[in-house]
Structure 1
Amino acid sequence: MKLAVVVLALAMTGCASVTDIEHTPATMSVMSGKNPQEYAECFVGKISDSREPSQVEPHKDGLRVIVPQKFASSTPTAIVDIERRSGGSSIKLFEDGGNNPLRPKDIQHAVTACISG
């Protein structure tokens, strides 16, 4: 029964585009003493243990990290926007299915692990 619930929850999340994900409410918003490049390097290093390589691109006054799904590396599942602020960065995490309590927590763990300088 539990397996059926997990499979159903994963099936309901579907495939989202970067545009779809960036229009969802942020699931996490934090500040870091690291500049955007340092934070992105830390985050990509932490998340690489559980996923295919993330795509890092310039965005506004900082960087955007597009995180692929665990099993479909061409489909994004999360976006991490890292903007330069005085003394560090502001970080916002947007996730596909961010209101799903059964979603993997590896992305959130990587976001919080990289906060401190």
Structure 2
Amino acid sequence: MKRGVLLLALAMSGCATVSDINQTLPTMNVISGKKPQEYAACVADKLATSRGAVQIEPHKDGVQVIVPGKLSADPAAVFDIDARSGGSSIKLHESLSNVPMRPGDIGKAANECISG
């Protein structure tokens, strides 16, 4: 039953765009001692096996990390990482933010990369 609900949620998420995902409430809003590029590289490394290559793009005073979906190339999550004195401010937006049984690899990577 749980797998059916998850598959239905994945199918309904459809073709989310970065701007669609950024309009959702952040699932994480934290501060890290790492610089934006350092945090982005950590997240990219942690997600390499489960998600493949992420896109890292310049964004405002930092970088934006776009994470692909597990089953498609459409974005599944967006990290907005802004520079601040002594580190960075991180906001994570996920396309399935309102689905409690969403894959946990993105949140896990985000948490593991905070300290530094």
Q: Quick check: TM above 0.5?
A: yes
CA contact (8 A) 1:9 1:102 kept: no
Query: Where has structure 1 moved over 3 Å in runs of 4 or more?
Result: none
Q: Write the mapping of 1:20-35 to structure 2, written as runs, cut at 5 A.
A: 20-35=20-35
Which segment drifts farther, 10-19 or 54-63?
10-19
Q: Could you say which residue in structure 1 is the equivalent of 2:95?
A: 96
- Shift in Å, 1:7: 2.2
Is contact 2:6-2:102 (8 Å) kept? Answer: no
Structure 2: distance between partners of 1:47 and 1:97: 17
Corresponding position: 1:107 with 2:106 = yes
TM-score, normalization by structure 1: 0.93
Map 1:17-56; keep pairs closer than 5 Å: 17-56=17-56
Gaps of 5+ in 2: none
- Structure 2 equivalent of residue 77 of structure 1: 76
Confirm or deny: 8 A CA contact 2:80 2:92 kept in the other structure: yes
Cα distance in 1 for partners of 2:35, 2:2 equals 42
Identity score, percent: 58
TM-score w.r.t. structure 2 length?
0.94
Question: 2: CA distance between counterparts of 1:41 and 1:71?
Answer: 22
Does the CA-based 8 Å contact 1:65-1:80 persist in structure 2? Answer: yes
